[in-house]
Structure 1
Amino acid sequence: MYNIKTPEKFIMASWLKWVLRILAGLIVLIIILLVGVTLYINTHKARVVALINTELNKNLDGSLAIGDLSPSFFRSFPGVSLTLKNVLIRDRKWTQHHHTLLDAKDFDVSVNTAALLRGTISINHIDINDAAIDLYTDTSGYSNTSVFKKSKDNKPKDPKDKSSTSAELGHFNLKNVKLTINNEHAKKLFKFDVNELRGGMNFPDSGWNAKVHMKVMARSLAFKLEHGSFIKDKLVEGDLVAGYNETSKKISVKSGNLGIGGDPFTLSALFTPANNSMNFAFHLTANQILWRSASSLVSANITKTLYKFNLDKPIDITAKIEGNFGGGDPLLYITATVKNNTLTIPGAVINNCNFNGVFTNNYIKGKELGDENSIINLVKFTGSYSHLPFVFDTLNIINLVKPIAVGAFKSSFPLTNLNYMFAKVARFDAGTGSMNMRFKADIIDLRLNKPFIAGDVIVKNAGVTYLPKNLNIKNTSVSLHFVQGTLIMDNIRIQSGKSVVTMSGRANNLMNLYYNEPEKILVNWEINSPQIHLGEFLGFLNRRKTTPVKGSSNSNNGNLVDKITNVINKSHVDLHMQVANVFYNKFLATNAKANLLLSEDGIEIKDIGLKTAGGTLAIRGRIVQDYTSNRFDVSTVINHVSIHDFFYAFDNFGLTAPTYQNLKGLLSAKAQLAGTFNGHGGILSKSLNGMVVLNLKNGALVNFNPLKTAGKIAFPFRNLNNIEIPNLDANFDIKGDMVTIKPMQITSSVINADVAGVYGINRGTDIALDIPLRNPKNDTTITDKEELKKKRYKGIVLHLAAKDDGTGKVKIGFNKDRKKD
């Protein structure tokens, strides 16, 4: 059966053929025209380039130059590709500042021809290679982007005007592009070496979004040139997702794998137009980044400070950076979480360190952003310094230009832990310590200076050896209170052996003087004791050590310990003592009172008064301590002491004869003596110099062998075992081991004698003795002094000499060298 077409169907098929033929013809015509244009441009390139340059420069306030162009129809069909070579854009003031806005060696653009027919410029891709973009603003605010602002028609554009075409970008690729944003007016400099920047965009009704891969070297990200650059010379590489909202006019950027300087970050950023510029807000997060790496990402003014610190293990940080590209410092808000780390700070190492830290340059809201308005806030800061655990509830460092540290901390520890810190000064073997302190201090060269301190230090049941003086104390308790710059010390109990001392004291303006003038520190002590055994404190008479005691090798402890040792040595201590009983070897004193001033030079004895041997003893003078000896220079007043007990207490003052066993009576004396102590509190041989004036009442010389030996020949019938001396005045000069006996008269029950000469403690004795032979017992009834004087020398007088025989033995003979009257 035949299929016969109806006229309507035939007409429709015929019409369709003609339409298709016409469209095909138009397409062929367009292709021929495009190919023709391409061929024409390629054959008349110089003319076309010159024409394009002329036309483009009509709308520029400067110059645009294209060195070469190469159109291609077939390479991106159905699009049209255009390759531009050596493109230069310069503003009219280029000869003054020499900043070229665009210098591109290779610029490829591919445009969708079908979109052109719809009135839209749809750019399939843009490739820019080997280019430099330099956006420059001078100090007056003039920018080289003004090259695009030439227009004689200043009427505002009608938003309903549809005559212009919209532009869309598909793919882009930048390689080896240097981007510089140099704003001298706002003192900002952004420089980037774009090794690679590629991505694609799409355009929904709400705006646009894009996916980008970037590999950029950040040469400068300086929001304020004098402070330096963020992420300077750091490679930034990763994938970004960006979007623009047409309604809010905001651009958002996010990345989950952004590498900055080799460390992984997550990024969230927002850009908002504002006042002919752009606000920005960056939120960066990095988990487990090293301190040094994180510190190198901020500006130089912050980095140089952060580099003086270190944390051994990685930390977690977040950073919020908000500001405006037009000017001013950005707002910084940086947090860090530190757990079980080791913190190194100038002069110390903090172990087991934990804290949550915040840094911001907006400490006082409304004040200008910057270092002067910065704060570092450490919350729940715990750690251990040289084995001393501590807790800071809060620690703030305010104002990085003139930093001030403010904080409060607590610490409790066994005192044995102090051995790691004070190994050169003290050795602790018992006790506990606790601190509860608040402080505020300037920071100079990253160290606390002249801090204001308030709080308490409590020490209980301490056992310690003070090494420089070899002084041992035990069962010691101390309470220290810092109040408005004054150190108040109370509830102090010190025990050394059998000695027990309770103390209280204060030091005014302590912390100020501690740092600047430790030699002006004056500590006032009130000391009471039921009994003191001086032998347990002889360490105070030891000379200073020339080398420190070997201790911890931790150099970080040395600065603090050396400072404390220096302050102890240089400060002054004003002691006011009351002691019920004082013991030293055989010496016993009661009701002792002393006022002493201890300083770096030694001990000034302002006043010592005590009761001993039935009388009183008063001492004034000083003990000078240095690294070679401990010299003393004292004046002593003795009133009515038992000479027997007194010589017994002081081991006969180094004399071998007479001894306390040979002496009786009540002694009063004045002495001015200087000498040198040994390390055991004794007097070095031959070091004693001075003078002694004494008076002996109701005295007696008992069993004194030198006189008994001489008396056996001269006075065989007199009692030489107990020679009574009613009154004796004597005057001695002492020089080393030689005692000069100034002429004195001995009037006794057995014999009278005139004595003068030198007594050598070891050797060198040469004493002249004038001894009347008459028995003074016959004169006991005479009361007239003149008559007694006449009868003293009546009869035979022996002129003897007691001399050293050269071996240290004393021999008595007639004084052949005596000068006759």
Structure 2
Amino acid sequence: MPRWSRIILKILGVFIALILVVFIAAAIYVNVNKKSLLATITEKLNQNLNGTLTIGSMDPTFLSGFPGVSLRLNNVVMHDSLWTVHRHPLLEAKDLEVSVNTLALLTGTIEIKKIGINKAQIYLFTDSNGYTNTSIFRKKKKTASPQEEDGDSGLEVGRFALDDVNFVVDNKKGHKLFQFAIDHLKGTADYSWSDWEADIQLKMLVKSLAFNTRRGSFIKDKVLEGPFKITYTDKTGVIDVAPNKLKIGPDPFTIGAKFDTSKEHTDFAINIEVNEIAWKNAANLLAPNISSKLNMFNFEKPIKVNCTIAGNMGPGGDPAINVKAIVKDNVLTTPGGKVDQCNFAGVFTNNFIAGKGHTDQNSAVKLYGFKGQYEQMPFSIDTASIHNLEKPIATGVFKSKFDIASLNKVIGEDVLQFVKGTADVKLAYKADIVDFKLTKPYVTGIVDIKNADVNYVPRKLKFTNTNISLNFTDHDLFIKNIRLQSGKSIVYMDGTIRNFLNSYYTAPEKVLLSWKIRSPQLHLGEFFGFLGSRQTTKKRKSAKTNFSDDLDAVFEKSQVDMHLKVDKVYYNKFLATDAMADLYLTEKGIAIKNVSVKHAGGLLKLNGTISQKGNVNRFDLNTTISNVDIKHFFYSFDNFGLKTLTSKNITGFLFSKTNISGGINNQGKLLPNSLNGSIIFDLKKGALLNFEPIQSVGKFAFPFRDLNNIMFTNLNGKFDVRGQKITINPMQINSSLLNMDIAGVYSMSTGTNIALDVPLRNPKKDEDITDKKEISDRRMKGIVLHLLATDGEDGKIKIKLNRNREKTK
């Protein structure tokens, strides 16, 4: 072996021997001076304490602290001066291990290099008056330079460790409770004058991180594991926790924090960031008042989240919480359904208005650039906001273009069923949120529907090629450019609803829809769905039925003021032109005003009402008929239920006033026996053609007169209608066949009883007489037959002599 090697080995051997001698000497010193050392250590640890620290016993553990000397302190208890009042020891440790400097120890000085706390509880308590048991630690007086120090640097520990330690911060005044079950904590500290820097490795279970015990705990029952780098600056009193990778539960986070201890109540700010975390995992890290709301939602893919929590350890409410989240190409599940292809940047704050407190009422959620697809309907919201999480209010501007058939999945098919068409929507909305669903939204903006086929299910109405433009203002709804087509009917409409949204939700029966309607042709039979009872639909228990139910209620209970102008109106055989009408529709029925139509060469005017009672639609009508071709008139209305007198038997031009009531069924058919009222008529240039009742009598009484074409110079009278019976008030008939006075009852079934006074004199003999008085005097001259028209045994009307007559006046 080379000489220099032997020299180095000898030196090394001497050094090791020296260390062993020193260590053995220290060990002997500890054993010999155990009692005095315990007193010295106790005194050292009690320095700067405003209270007491007691140690039950001490045992040396030489090898664990080599080359220093380690001491195990058993049953260590630390009490502040008011412990007897609040009964919360600051420290209770079964085993506290202290490592001291060996050389310093031999000189009689205790210099602690490491402290290990095992199987212990550290309890930092603050009562409701603000007193804290941490006041046991006396604050050092600040000095300008190290030279001004009093030579006592206090307790400086280079290494420390905690194993199986329950750490509690219980602040009754601030309603805060932090409780950590520390599995292990190991760290080293470097000191520079009054500052220090520590590196820590930690694993612990968070039992409570409640910044407000009335709200509950953050990251409750989650394991926190990872490294910390902490620095303390005495000049500012700030503890800085550098951002570092930590795990909370299964998820890796970057966590950093600052604690300002220079103030009466320590201010803190904690920053937490994670690039990918499941929504449920993130929600369950927050306090129950927040997580309970967030758990109503979910995302299929992980999201990126950044959270800051800032506040102070003093009394007060919740800390300020600000959360930022980035969502890309995700699927959002909500109580109202799923949003596919979801993208947005989201922000949550519980300090929406500065100075209003960190409360649910002052909390808000904002979603920027929100885009997604709901039930195959793509939409976007530039900025969606939810304010006041106690009574949430949502606002935003909703934009969407979609196939309108997609609405069937949203609002259901019980009221409106969309077959085809497109919708273009741009609405600014404000809505309450109840059970995390938009309720009673107030909207402004435009909805354009084009080329839509729509079925109104309760009334079995179908509309094709429908266009609608809805313009929502702050208070009113304007409905423009509507085109409806049902069968052959085409309708163009413009409407207005004043104070729409207020009435829509609270009192749909007060909704008044004013329509201006025009149509080139209208087939009334295609709208008989509005007659009779609505088709009831089975209510589905679904989150999507609220809007459908509201819409259905408005359709049925609202009032409609309609002003119509129709070029052609069809109803069975009836055809009218240039129709104009004012209709007022309510839940109870229809008020008909100012109806005017041209029909059969004349003019019809009408006023009245139609009301629904069960399956019967009652009507009350007042009509005026001017110069109407009676043949076409009878034909159009199926002869008004008459069997004997039909459109084939009558010609002329009718002038009439009626006041009539009756009933029609759901198919628009006149109900038998339902007519009641009066008819005043005047038939000009009239004629009876092949009228069987007169023919049956005339072929015997007037065999040489024309019975097939009986012309009237003027025919007027009044009929009173009561069901199937028509009372013929006394009237005169002057015709080319004969003259006649008639009165009685005509029945559409049985009960006909009509008295007829018929002079046999031929009216043609008086054709050359121009004096009306003379014609009147000669009218009943000669032989007069007194006849009675009654029911025959075969059901037909029979004419016989009226032997017990009272002459008709």
Q: Tell me what 2:319 maps to.
A: 330
Matched with 1:637 is 624
Matching of residues 461-480 of structure 1 within 5 Å? 461-480=451-470
Contact 2:76–2:91, Cα closer than 8 Å, also in 1: no
Deviations 1:507-540 (A, max 9, x none): 2221222222222222222222333333333333
> Aligned letter for 1:511?
L
In the superposition, the TM-score normalised over structure 1's length comes to 0.85
Distance 1:155 1:251 in 2: 22
| Fraction of identical pairs, as percent | 39
1:667 maps to which of 648, 651, 654: 654
Aligned equivalent of 1:35:
31
The 1:575/1:20 distance shift into structure 2, 3 A limit, reads closer
Report whether the alignment pairs 1:600 with 2:587.
yes
Secondary structure of the structure 1 residue equivalent to 2:472 = strand
Corresponding residue number in structure 1 for 2:758: 772
CA distance in 2 between partners of 1:141 and 1:288 (Å):
41
1:164–1:809 CA distance, 2 compared to 1 (3 A):
same
Q: Which residue of 1 aligns with 2:402?
A: 413
Greater Cα offset, 286-295 or 573-582:
286-295
Q: Measured at CA, do residues 349 and 629 of structure 1 come closer, stay the same or move farther in structure 2, by a change above 3 Å?
A: farther
The more displaced of 741-750 and 517-526 is 741-750
Counterpart position of 1:555: 542
For residues 349 and 179 of structure 1, the distance between their equivalents in structure 2, rounded to whole angstroms, comes to 43
1:634-679 alpha-carbon deviations (Å, 9 max, x no partner): 2222223221121122221222221111112222223233333333
Query: Is 1:61–1:92's contact at 8 Å kept on the other side of the alignment?
Result: no
Matched, 1:174 2:163: yes
> Which 5+ residue runs of structure 1 have no aligned equivalent?
1-12, 43-47
Letter in 1 for 2:497: A
Change beyond 3 A, Cα 1:315–1:730: farther
Q: Are 1:227 and 2:223 counterparts? A: no
- Cα deviation for residue 502 of structure 1 reads 2.7
Task: Report the AA paired with residue 281 of structure 1.
Answer: A
1:525 aligns with 2:511: no
**What's the secondary structure of 2:530's corresponding residue?**
helix
Q: Does residue 1:380 correspond to 2:379, yes or no? A: no
CA positional deviation for 1:272: 3.9
**Cα distance change on mapping 1:474 and 1:94 into 2, 3 Å:** same
Residue pair 2:353, 2:362 contacting (<8 A) in 1 also: yes
Residue 575 of structure 1: how far off its partner (Å): 1.1
Instruction: Give the SS at the match of 1:667.
Output: strand
In structure 2, C-alpha distance between the alignment counterparts of 1:241 and 1:330, rounded to whole Å: 23
Structure-2 separation of matches of 1:289 and 1:374: 23
1:62 and 1:90 in contact (8 A); partners too: yes
Cα offset, 1:298, TM superposition: 1.9
- The one-letter amino acid of 2:171's match is N
Equivalent of 2:123, from 134, 137, 162? 134
1:557 Cα deviation (Å)?
2.4
C-alpha distance in structure 2 between counterparts of 1:429 and 1:374, whole Å: 42
1:702 to 673, 683, 689: 689
Amino acid paired to 1:35 = N
- Find the partner of 1:685 among 669, 672, 677: 672
1:215 has 2:211 as partner = no
1:800 is aligned to 788
- The Cα offsets for residues 32-73 of structure 1, whole Å up to 9 and x where unpaired, read as 3321233x689xxxxx89x9999999986556555x324235
Q: Which residue of 1 aligns with 2:259?
A: 271
Letter of the structure 1 residue corresponding to residue 282 of structure 2: A
Q: Quote the residue 1:10 is aligned against.
A: none
Residues 564/626 of structure 1: CA separation in 2 closer, same or farther (3 Å cut): farther
1:458 partnered with 2:448: yes
Q: Is the 8 A contact 1:121 1:165 kept in 2?
A: no
Give the conservation status (yes or no) of the 8 Å contact 1:751–1:771. Answer: no
Amino acid at match of 2:307: A
Are the counterparts in 1 of residues 259 and 269 from structure 2 also a CA contact under 8 Å?
yes
In structure 2, relative to structure 1, the CA distance for the partners of 1:230 and 1:150 (3 Å cut) is closer
Counterpart code for 1:726: T
Q: Deviations over 1:765-799 (max 9, x none)?
A: 42233232423515664856698479538634333
The yes-or-no answer on 1:540 pairing with 2:526 is no
8 Å contact from structure 1 (residues 750, 775) kept in 2: no
Is the contact made by 2:523 and 2:571 (CA closer than 8 Å) also made in structure 1?
Answer: yes
Tell me if the contact between 1:116 and 1:122 (Cα under 8 Å) persists in the aligned partners.
no
Q: Post-superposition shift, 1:209?
A: 2.6
Show the counterpart of 1:425: 415
1:306 correspondence with 2:302: no
Aligned residue number for residue 512 of structure 1: 502
**Aligned AA for 2:184?**
L
Letter in 1 for 2:752: D
Which residue number corresponds to residue 334 of structure 2?
A: 345
Are the structure 2 counterparts of residues 150 and 406 from structure 1 closer, same or farther at C-alpha, using a change threshold of 3 Å? Answer: closer
Q: Report the CA distance between 1:415 and its aligned residue.
A: 2.7
Distance 1:25 1:428 in 2: 98
| Matched residue count | 785
Shift of 1:291: 2.8
Which one of 386, 396, 399 corresponds to residue 397 of structure 1? 386
Q: Which residue of 2 aligns with 1:731?
A: 718
**Any gaps of 5 or more consecutive residues in structure 2?**
1-9
Contact map agreement 1:766 1:804 (CA 8 A) in 2: no
2:601 is aligned with 1:610: no
Contact kept in structure 2, 1:703 and 1:721, CA below 8 Å: yes
Change in CA separation of 1:100 and 1:655 when aligned onto 2, cut-off 3 Å: farther
User: Residue 316 in 1 paired to residue 304 in 2?
Assistant: yes
The aligned counterpart of 2:704 is: 717
- Give the conservation status (yes or no) of the 8 Å contact 1:764–1:803: yes
Corresponding residue of 1:45: none
Aligned amino acid, residue 617 of structure 1 = L
> Structure 1 counterpart of 2:294, which letter?
L
Distance (whole Å) between structure 1 residues aligned to residue 17 and residue 610 of structure 2: 127
Work out the CA distance in 1 between the residues paired with 2:382 and 2:647: 67
What is the SS of the residue equivalent to 1:661?
coil
- Cα RMSD (Å): 3.9
SS of match in other structure, 1:351: strand
* Amino acid of the structure 1 residue aligned with 2:198: N
Secondary structure at 1:503's aligned position in 2?
strand
Displacement of 1:542 in angstroms is 5.1
What residue number does 2:5 align with?
Answer: none
* Distance in 2 of aligned mates of 1:256 and 1:505: 63
CA contact (8 A) 1:623 1:630 kept: yes
User: How far off is 1:335 after superposition?
Assistant: 1.8
- 1:567 maps to 2:557: no
Q: 1:9 maps to which residue?
A: none
Change (3 A) 1:164 1:438: closer
CA distance in 1, matches of 2:51, 2:782: 139
